[in-house]
Structure 1
Amino acid sequence: MMKKVKLSEIKKEQIWDWEKQVANIAKEIEGQFQQNFKSHSYKLEIVFSRTDVSPKHFPECPPLSKEQCLKPHYCSAISVAVTDLEGNLIGDEEDGYLFGEGLTIWTVEKSFLFFMVDENFPIGSAKGYILTLPSSEIKKTLEEDVFYLAKELNIPF
């Protein structure tokens, strides 16, 4: 599902194009199923994001710009969730919130001896990982997330 890529062998524009393609598929899926959720007083949220997943920021992941896509700890992903019509997540801290699995599109990790390290760590190497699923499989995976969430909320399809 994810392929390791040398950062010297991929261009920012390739990453941006792939992110855009996947984000467009996600928007299509959201539009296709949104009405089913709204008719049951829920809102389907399929969101594209670019965040810094550095361990120093855990559990908060600050947003990044697309220009930073070759920097360590960059991660672009699609998340799938359901909210009530006011935008509150379904669930609670004790039992957990209702999320789908989503998809990571592109991520850059910096590691040393198999441990993720801070980008300022003096040694270690950065590697990129890109989603390799074809568009039809991306669509299928996101639809499965949506169907899972609908089933959990007893929303028929």
Structure 2
Amino acid sequence: MFASAVAASAQAVVSTAPTAGVVEIYFAKDDGTGKAGEEATSFVTTDVPIYCVVKLDSALPTTVKMNLVAVAVPGVKADTKVVTSIYTTKDNEDRVNFTGRPAGQWVAGRYRVDIFVGGAAVMSREFAVQKVVQVPVKPVAKPATPKTGDPSRVARRVARS
């Protein structure tokens, strides 16, 4: 009976504390000025950094944590935390920009971000990084020179006469 009274008391305290929730999570590439650009859904190994933008439903101060996890990446054990980053928002901040930046380029594979707000897990989202596809450059072909018996050349001679 004592344990249940403590649990009820603890729940009452927790429920009265205001907490922020996540409205949206999206990924973005760098906009060229060192900031998160527009939402992106596909990435290649040279997209460094990749941003994870977390929009909150409240502008009250809270702690937001991001775990970047390797889901299926060659040479990395599945579900290995690659990066953990924590940020405490200030008054009137309702957006947090996390960045993932490997040493060099990304390793192609599947990754996941796990987002925590106020210590509670609130959302996870996966993304894939693809290898850069090199398109072979085809040499420019010279236009074919018409041969003597070419009908188009004969037609031009007839037209001139």
Q: Report which of the two structures shows the higher radius of gyration computed on alpha carbons.
A: 2
TM-score, normalised to structure 2's length?
A: 0.30
* Bigger proportion of residues as helix: 1
TM-score, normalised to structure 1's length?
A: 0.30
Higher RCO (CA-CA < 8 Å; seq separation 6+): 1
* Bigger proportion of residues as strand: 2
